């Protein structure tokens, strides 16, 4: 498995966070009671802000649901791959890095008091190159 394949869960999680943030922004816009100050004259009429944003929120929720399903699939795939590795230290390194999303220094601290982030990364790179 390549670094790119192993990193897919990380990027899916970033997409999910972005979608959740966008949904929250739209929900706030839909229920906000203040009018934007534009300097333009106000035209009388009925404006349904909730209705205006409802379709976009529904679309984003569908995308969020799809990405959550992809995320669970990717997590299961990663777990199966990591559990198939014989070396327990490498299983820990890959789990901390790709499932928990830790940086190399945090992975090293989780593995050993004496390991550095650089040494753990190099061991990881050698393992991937070999396999």
pLDDT for the residue numbered 123? 96
In whole angstroms, give the CA distance from residue 7 to residue 30: 35
Indicate the SS3 state at residue 95: helix
| pTM confidence score | 0.77
For the ranges 10-14, 49-53, 63-67, 112-116, the lowest mean pLDDT is seen at 49-53
40-56: average pLDDT: 68
What length is written for the chain? 131
pLDDT for the residue numbered 54? 85
Cβ neighbours of 10 (radius 10 Å): 14
């Amino acid at each position: 498995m390549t670094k790119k394949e192993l990193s897919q869960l990380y990027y899916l999680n970033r997409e999910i966070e972005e979608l959740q943030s966008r949904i929250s922004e739209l929900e706030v816009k839909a229920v906000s009671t203040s009018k934007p100050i534009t300097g333009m004259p106000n035209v009388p009429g009925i404006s349904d802000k909730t209705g205006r944003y409802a379709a976009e929120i529904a679309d984003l929720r569908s995308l969020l649901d799809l990405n959550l399903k992809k995320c669970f699939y990717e997590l299961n795939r990663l777990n199966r791959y990591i559990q198939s590795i014989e070396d327990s230290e490498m299983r820990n390194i890959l789990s901390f890095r790709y499932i928990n999303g830790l940086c190399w220094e945090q992975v090293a601290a989780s593995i050993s008091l004496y390991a550095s982030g650089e040494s753990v990364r190099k061991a990881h790179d050698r393992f991937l190159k070999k396999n």
